[in-house]
Homo-oligomer: A and B are copies of this chain.
């Protein structure tokens, strides 16, 4: 009964580690997730994790940052223009979060973003530059209003995701996707195309007077 050394066959151990890490990170957040726990879940020695990924942070980035490429999905939902954008956005968003691979990864990222400066910065830059700014450009929103509209959209998105997938408050947590889309979509729509208060510094000063 050989306990040490290489295994027989060609088991995709690396993928097993990634998958285990995704689950444990999603469940416990960054520091909450122990490499030992990940290794155990993958049926593997903890040292092997370091052998493949070097450090815990690199493992996290490999697992979590990978499945996000807004470059493809963004044009698809902004393409048809500003009409019905709210519903399309929520639908696409929920598609990511219901996905068994990208959902947990996203949850892990959100969890750790609320704890680590480096992670929060990462998520903020990702959202701000790669998603929100580009989305507003594709929709041809007035650049003076775009940042405010974008951060309002972000607030509803983060909240929806937090309530439905992290805090799991009912009934939002187990509502069918299309019902969520129908209820939250209009909010997004209003943030994107509706009236704004304080579109820039001057307008804000005026509104406060």
| Cβ-based interface call for A93 (8 A) | no
Question: What is the bound-complex CA distance between A158 and B168, given in angstroms?
Answer: 12
Q: Is the CB of A148 within 8 A of B114?
A: no
Q: Which of B29, B159, B171 contacts A147 (CB 8 A)?
A: B171
**Complex interface: chain B residues within 8 A of A62 (CB):** none
Secondary structure dominating the interface of A: helix
Question: What is the bound-complex CA distance between A175 and B186, given in angstroms?
Answer: 23
Q: Which of B29, B154, B171, B208 contacts A114 (CB 8 A)?
A: B29
Known A148-B172, A183-B148, A183-B196; contact A167-B124, beta-carbon cutoff 8 A? yes
* Number of interface residues, chain A, beta carbon within 8 A: 53
**1/0 contact string of A159-180 vs chain B (CB within 8 Å):** 1101110111111110110110
Q: Is the CB of B152 within 8 A of A172?
A: yes
A109 to chain B, nearest CB (A): 11
**Complex interface: chain B residues within 8 A of A169 (CB):** 124, 127-128, 151, 154
Q: Is the CB of A154 within 8 A of B163?
A: yes
Known A155-B156, A159-B158, A162-B159; contact A168-B124, beta-carbon cutoff 8 A? yes
| Cβ-based interface call for A32 (8 A) | yes
**Complex interface: chain B residues within 8 A of A196 (CB):** 183
Among A28, A172, A173, chain B packs the most CB atoms within 10 A around the CB of A172
Known A154-B169, A198-B183, A207-B178; contact A115-B28, beta-carbon cutoff 8 A? yes
